[in-house]
Structure 1
Amino acid sequence: MKVNGEVNTKITAIPVGKVTKRKMSTDRILSLLFLLPSIILIAIFVYGFIAWSGYVSLSNWNSIVKDLSFAGFKNYAYLFDQFRFQADLRNTLFFTVLFIGVVIIIGQLLAILIDQQIKGESFFRNVFFFPMSLSFIVTGVVWQWLLNPTTGVNIFLQKFGIKPMWYVDTTVIPAWKWGHIEFGVPVAIIALVIAATWQMTGFAVAMYLAGLRAIPDEVREAARVDGATEFQLYRKVIFPLLAPITVSVIIIMAHISLKIFDLVYAMTGSGANFVTDVPGIFMFETTFRGNYYANGSAISIIMLLSVAIFIVPYLIKNRRGEMS
């Protein structure tokens, strides 16, 4: 019986193992087959086109006639020596800093307000989140009218002797010489910051509100028992716990601001003396209106690298956190 028992055990055990391995192998093959179309499309239309843009940016293709002869970094050197591109870098820098800063501050304040269990919480949530349902084109058109020096809110402000020029103002503060441009904060950029903040603050509110609701009440009560005031509670306990969310908001807002195009194009365009111009508009006009394909590709690669500076370290950090 022992022999038969051993034989029977082996007979029943081996097929089960084989069936399990075959099932796992089949599942992997099916998973790969389902993912294969997406992998191919991403490889071609994302990474393939990035590689093509990089290749064109190193060529002499700056006319309708195709010329892919190697030019090295001549196109990049040309761009960084141009008044318009230097203005674009200045505008992008200050727009990004102001936009991210205002979104974080207002987003935190509104999230804290909603977290107080106020009456009509759902109403306020909908009001704050509503702008996110609009496209930047719609936002740009609306705010272009609202901040027009001769219409919108300015009709009301003029009754008090206030005549803001908003996005048509060419003033740069503090305006010291840097290359071919005046380096400082272009006043016209403030109008773009207002419009972009109005649309994207709802995202920050949602992120911070989720973070606040995830903090246990025991943590708050423990801080209060230790004698912490409400201000100290938020400064020393709540805000440090919300730091990962702040990092995420910074990354996402930076990604939006560094490649912004539609809001600026619809609201102000390049602006007088390029005070509201951004690399996205410069790239569009250089490539599709001027037929300077190599220069346009160089601008797009610079935009890609500027976004990668924020995104890549963030992804690497998250990847290491998941593996540890």
Structure 2
Amino acid sequence: METVKVTAETKATVVPATRKKRKLTADHWFAFSFLLPSIVLIFIFVYGFIGWTGYVSLSSWNSLVPDFSFAGLKNYAYLFSDFRFQADLRNTLVFTILFISVVIILGQFLAILLDQKLRGESIFRNIFFFPMALSFVVTGVVWQWLLNPSTGINLFLKKIGFESKWYTDTNILASLHWGKIEFGVPVAMIAVVIAAVWQMTGFAVAMYLAGLRAIPDEVREAARMDGATEFQIYRKIIIPLLRPITVSVIIIMAHISLKIFDLIYAMTGPGANFVTDVPGVYMFETTFRGNYYANGAAIAIIMLLSVALFIVPYLISSRKGES
């Protein structure tokens, strides 16, 4: 049998052939021509307007008459020294922590209950998922009526001698001091968190339920054979396996909470002493009611950067995982 010797010359002829780039065919250009309008519109109406907002935030346009003279970081310095914006940042942090924590705990608990294959699972699943079909505006109006001191739940409670202001209550339920900074949890913010959790828990339930159904039964059976109890199986095996889903839920819920506007605006507005005010509400009133366009643009850029702090690392890690 003859042996074939691979020399350096044959390698030189083979390697470039394997690395030869594919030529763009007519089908590629045809597909690109269909995508081109969408790409152009995205660059104009997304990235173009983001750039325009950033440019306006560095200008002196704080009146009805446009003034594009460069102001540097003057608008940002004003915001971080403004009492209302400082309250907005604290309220956003409090709302985000409470909202994400309750959604994750309640979503996992309900998903585990649904995973027990009980009768009427489809009915309960539809009940949990239904609030997601509503907009935040509808949710805000409904919960405003339910928690109003003169209607809804409080009308019944008032008859039995218990009256609560709920979403209008400015009292601080709990507070945390960090140096000179105080993080308070007003009762009104609790009411907003309840409404937001009611709407978005169904999403977490769907995510966790899909993760639970993807875990093989052999994992549970092997743990039972080793003498693990059901509580130990969920605490040490099932819940750790759901960690990627938990990260996804945290990222999505943080994205929603950091740019929340419609729910709070429809339900409470800024609230007395700005107890439920958030940057989204402040931006709307500053830009479209006060005509301070540069300040409103600065608030929008700060909101964009805060969301990007969560989304960008998540996207980078996702791409690394796929590669």
Q: Which amino acid aligns with 1:125?
A: R
Q: Give deviations 1:59-93, integer Å, cap 9, x for gaps.
A: 11101111111111110010111111111111110
Question: Equivalents in 1 of 2:126, 2:23: separation in Å?
Answer: 47
CA distance in 1, matches of 2:207, 2:152: 32
Q: What displacement does 1:42 show? A: 0.5
Partner of 1:295: 295
Match of 2:85 in 1: 85
Contact residue 111 and residue 209 of structure 1 kept, 8 A: yes
* Of 173-182 and 289-298, the range deviating more from structure 2: 173-182
Other-structure match for 1:255: 255
Q: SS of the counterpart of 1:126?
A: helix
Q: How does 1:135-284 map to 2 (within 5 A)?
A: 135-175=135-175, 183-284=183-284
| 1:215-247 CA-partner distances (Å, limit 9, x unpaired) | 000001011111111111001000011000000
Q: 1:95 corresponds to which letter in structure 2?
A: F
Partner residue, 1:317: 317
Amino acid corresponding to residue 193 of structure 2 in structure 1: V
**CA offset digits 1:180-223 (Å, max 9, x no partner):** 98532122100010001111110000000000000000001011
Which TM-score applies when normalising by structure 1? 0.90
3-state DSSP class of the match of 2:183?
strand
Shift of 1:164: 2.0
Task: Give distance in 2, aligned partners of 1:294 and 1:213.
Answer: 50
User: 1:272 Cα deviation (Å)?
Assistant: 0.5
User: Which sits farther off after the overlay, 182-191 or 101-110?
Assistant: 182-191
Aligned 8 A contact 1:144 1:268 in 2: yes
Partner of 1:99: 99
Map of 2:26 onto structure 1: 26
- 8 Å CA contact 2:94, 2:183 repeated in 1: no
d(CA) in 2 for partners of 1:100 and 1:159?
Answer: 34
Residues 82 and 180 of structure 1 are in contact (CA less than 8 Å); yes or no, is this contact kept in structure 2? Answer: no
Equivalences, count: 303
Corresponding position of 1:12: none
- State the Cα distance separating 1:22 from its structure 2 match: 9.3
Distance 2:179 2:320 in 1: 41
5+ residue gaps, structure 1: 1-20
5+ long unaligned stretches in structure 2: 1-20
**SS of 1:184 mapped into structure 2:** strand
Q: Secondary structure at the match of 1:41?
A: helix
What is the one-letter code of the residue matched to 1:234? Y
1:270–1:278: 8 Å Cα contact kept in structure 2?
yes
In the alignment, is the contact (CA less than 8 A) between 2:149 and 2:164 conserved in 1? Answer: yes
Q: CA offsets, 1:267-299, max 9 Å, x none?
A: 111111110111111001100111100000000
Could you tell me whether the CA contact under 8 Å between 1:172 and 1:183 is conserved in 2? Answer: no
> CA RMSD, aligned part only?
1.8
* SS class of match (2:131): helix
What fraction of aligned residue pairs are identical, expressed as a percent? Answer: 77
CA contact (8 A) 2:88 2:277 kept: yes
CA distance in 1, matches of 2:23, 2:303: 46
CA 1:179/1:294 → structure 2, altered by over 3 Å: closer, same or farther?
farther
Shift of residue 58, structure 1, vs aligned partner = 0.6
Deviation at 1:24, TM superposition (A): 5.4
Moved more, 289-298 or 146-155: 146-155
SS at match of 1:304: helix
Contact 2:103/2:201, CA 8 A, preserved across alignment = yes
1:110 aligns with 2:110: yes
- Cα distance in 2 for partners of 1:177, 1:59 equals 36
TM-score normalised by length of structure 2:
0.90
Aligned partners of 2:175 and 2:182 also within 8 Å: yes
SS in 1 for 2:222: helix
- How much has 1:158 moved relative to structure 2? 2.9
